[in-house]
Amino acid sequence: MAESSEFSKSMLDQLPIESFWDIPLYQWEGFWYRSYHLQATMALRSHFSARHDDIILTSPMKTGTTWLKALCFSIVNAAARRNKTPAAETLAKTDEDDPRRHRDPLVENHPAVYVQTLEVQVFTSNPLPDVAAMKSPRLFHTHLPYTALPDSIKTSDCKLVYIARNPKDTLVSMWHFFNKLRTPQQGPYPLEKAFELFADGVSHFGPFFDHVLQYWNQSLKAPDKVLFLKYEDLKRDPIGEVKKLASFMGKPFAHDTEVEDVVWRCSLERLKNLEVNKNGVDPWVGMHNSSFFRTGIVGDWKNTLSDEMSQRLDRLTESKLKGSGLRFEI
């Protein structure tokens, strides 16, 4: 199918379709999207021009995206305060650098307000925002697979930071998250159906393993351009991993107290207990901010998946990742 600046209904009708939590997903170039994600992806590919100092965060759904957004936003702004350079440019208004106020922007808004997802928030706006007018450095996020990114992101010197998570915790987190969209009368979506969809690769921006492997392989080919992080490593050694992240972004910490402050500010326990995240609502998808924070525990899948599901997913993971060199802590 030839690329267009938008997907018409007739074009959508030509694509394979599957039901995910009773939501229609369309398969385009091997991956699954909601119709408005496809529209936004076409607009992104047509109108977005990457800069050499852009930082693009990337992830499958439910692998630590919100945590990564908070960390990278805080890293860039900490460097800006230290060096008296421009803070991370966002589409949200912030007076973080106002010397009269010493505050943390994360107290006032969910991290997604400061680091917006290109195909969910930015290129779904009407009219489209003038991202070309934003000052550098720009900080964005995307759930898109690597092959769907605009060519300018792939060929420029901008940085890509990817976060992955073991598939069992990803699936369980996804199940809890999308159940928030269901009414009490509907009840939770059947876990068995959710499992089969995930195993078959049907999920937003899935298949999961194809998505992960695209970015993993790119990180091996171009380690200076693509940083591949694992959620489990961030949980195990947040100080070490955040130092590595800041250095990759070109914003290394001057003192250990700085990294400790960022890790504290962005900790799951702190973020989930901030008033804005306990009671606020995401204006783009209409979900409570609290929906984006649950336990964050590595291995929480053990409280949900059956032994048979666990063993099947183990076999599938081994098959999909065989020969790649990629391993997940289960």
Could you list the active site residues? 143
Taking the alpha carbons of 299, 304, 309, 311 in that order, is the dihedral positive or negative? positive
DSSP three-state, residue 249: coil
Angle value at C-alpha 170, between 165 and 171, nearest 5 degrees: 155
**Virtual CA dihedral for 306, 310, 315, 317, nearest 10 degrees?**
140
Q: Which of 111, 65, 108 is nearest to 90 (CA)?
A: 111
Residue 53 tokens read as 């100092």
Q: Which amino acid is at 200?
A: D
- The contacts of residue 250 (CB under 8 Å, 6+ apart) are 159
Are the C-beta atoms of 329 and 232 separated by less than 8 Å?
yes
Question: Please, what is the angle between helix 208-221 and helix 167-179, to 10°?
Answer: 130
- The contacts of residue 5 (CB under 8 Å, 6+ apart) are 42, 43, 46
Q: Cα separation of 54 and 116, whole Å?
A: 13
Provide the CA 142 distance to its chain's centre, in angstroms: 6
- The contacts of residue 324 (CB under 8 Å, 6+ apart) are 213, 216, 217
DSSP three-state, residue 180: coil
Q: Which residue has the tokens 């973020």?
A: 271
Q: Cα separation of 55 and 42, whole Å?
A: 20
Backbone angles phi, psi at 115, to 5 degrees: -120, 95
